[in-house]
Amino acid sequence: INKQHQSWTDDLPLCQMCGVGTAPNCVYGPDGKGTQSHTNEDGHLRFRGEDGCFLYGVFNGYDGSRVASFASQCLTAELLLGQLNSSHTDNDVRRILTQAFDVVEKSYFETIDDALAEKANLSNYLPPHNENVSFHHSSQSQKVQDRLKELEQEVSGGATAVVALILNNKLYIANVGTNRALLCKSSSDGQNQVLQIGRPHSTDNEDELQRLAALGVDSARVRQAGQIAGQSSTRRLGDYPVKFNYNEIDLLSAAKTRPIIAEPEIHGSQSLDSVTGFLLLMSEGLINALESAHGPEQANQEIVAMVAAELAQQSSLEAAAQSVVDRIKRLHHDVYVSGRQRATYCSRHEDMTLLIRTLNYTLADGALTPTQGGRIYPVSVPYSNSTLTNGTNTASTLEEGTPTPGQSPTATLQSTNTQTQSSSSSSGDGSLFRQRGSQAAQPDETGRVPPYVDFSQFYRLWGSDHSDGQSTQGGLGPQ
């Protein structure tokens, strides 16, 4: 890792309006005991720059943490060394963000140049597998093979990244891969609007599949495989084998040019003037753990409800973020142990990272309190992928998320959500957002559904002891 970046980024002030919670990966044994299967590969950053500039990021590393940690340091150096200032337009900012990711990618590959050269050189010493058996058994050959293994480790691995930049009180999100950004806005009547910014670059993202198809890749096969070289992301940082030897990877071999790219998709700017609420950056492992436990339909609303509840009672942002991660970890584990329908999806989880950045939350007695006494009724602009919307693709972008004048925020709840609302709870795993049979919300004549999330029970249960196991069904996850 570039030493000058390292020392320089160490001196940057951390942002105080931000808290981060983490948990390492975990595999459960038959007895429900968890063991960590590799060192934590997630990364994050949260800096306050000059000139009212803030930078946040969550990185999901895989096959090692080298790319994630390199990317977080290099990105910081590319964005907070005076490259950004308050006179920049939206287009300037988008250009600078895109450029920064490009530099990160190129600089990372420069750092593994020597290892790649040595690897190529050493490979020449090894005879083809079928001849010269005596050489194979010699200690010399063993040394070469051990060193090749080491080098292989050094040059493999990659990361996905979601980065938030606040400049002039405007929010920009740059995304590469499968992490998630949520913006939660509270309105004066206690309603919350939950906005997922952008869509994951994954094997079921229509736009990404089209991008791959245009390069000659069989996108139907990619969708069916659900993974490319072990990861579900179609954009990533690093990952030498996938970037440079893609013609040797069956799914990608037909591509005319490099199919897996590191170019960020940039959303914004979105003005934060008069916005009260919080921004969440979540690593893929955190999202997957919650969605595995409760189904994907209400994951965004659930995490916002948890964050709001924790902010209402924790003394620091760090404690609130950690508390939410711990709850998701416990919830995931409880579903596994319950042996219920979703348990099969919950035998393991990856590293989890949650970054919370509050927006105009008021501080009282050193504790953070949400407006309106902490009663949170999230109203979501649902993240909808093609499966929810019968073939039409309504990516939830920033623009769509803002209700048109005269329309209540609840009206942005799309009717496409109705068909999946209750599917996650059919297994009876006390999901927070269970539809109650006959009370299931029906769309009105405009095709819209009234808000159906009632948090009164959530707050009743909140104070009670989770460990007593006596809580009524419909409590905080399966007991």
Q: 276-282 and 42-48 as β-strands: parallel, antiparallel, unpaired?
A: unpaired
- Kindly report the pTM of this predicted structure: 0.75
In angstroms, what is the C-alpha Rg of the chain?
A: 24
DSSP 3-state assignment of 335? Answer: helix
Residue 454 phi/psi, 5-degree rounding, is -110, 120
Strands 191-196 and 377-381: parallel
Task: Give the pair of three-digit tokens for residue 397.
Answer: 């972008």
Contact yes or no for 220/439 (Cβ under 8 A): no
Q: 162: part of which helix (H) or strand (E)? A: strand 158-167
Q: Is the dihedral of CA 67, 70, 72, 78 positive or negative?
A: negative
The tokens for 223 are 């969708």
Q: What angle do CA 7, 10, 11 make, to 5 degrees?
A: 100
The pLDDT value given to residue 300: 95
SS3 labels along 244-258: HCHHHCHHHCCCCCC
Per-residue buried b or exposed e for 349-380, using 16+ beta carbons within 10 Å of the residue's own CB: bbbbbbbbbbbebeeeeeebebbbebebbbbb
What pLDDT, on the 0 to 100 scale, is given for residue 187? 77
DSSP SS3 for 450: coil
Helix (H, G, I), strand (E, B) or coil at 190: coil
Would you report the helix, strand and coil content of the chain in percent, each value rounded to 5? 40, 20, 40
Are the C-beta atoms of residues 80 and 49 closer than 8 Å to each other? Answer: yes
Taking each helix axis as running N to C, give the angle between helix 317-338 and helix 284-294, from 0 to 180 degrees, rounded to the nearest 10: 40
pLDDT at 51: 84
Task: List Cβ neighbours of 69 (8 Å cut-off, separation of 6 or more).
Answer: 1, 43, 59, 61
CA 335 to chain centre: 21
d(CA 151, CA 148): 5
Rounded Cα gap, residues 300 and 295, in angstroms: 11
Q: What is the mean pLDDT of each run of 10 residues along the chain (479 residues)?
A: 58 91 96 94 94 95 95 95 91 97 97 93 74 62 90 92 97 98 86 91 96 95 94 96 92 93 95 94 97 93 93 91 97 93 93 96 48 40 34 35 37 31 32 39 50 52 45 38
| Burial class of residue 23 in the structure, from the number of CB atoms within 10 Å of its CB (0-12 exposed, 13-18 middle, 19+ buried) | buried
**Cα separation of 89 and 86, whole Å?**
8
Neighbouring-strand partners of residue 163 = 57, 174
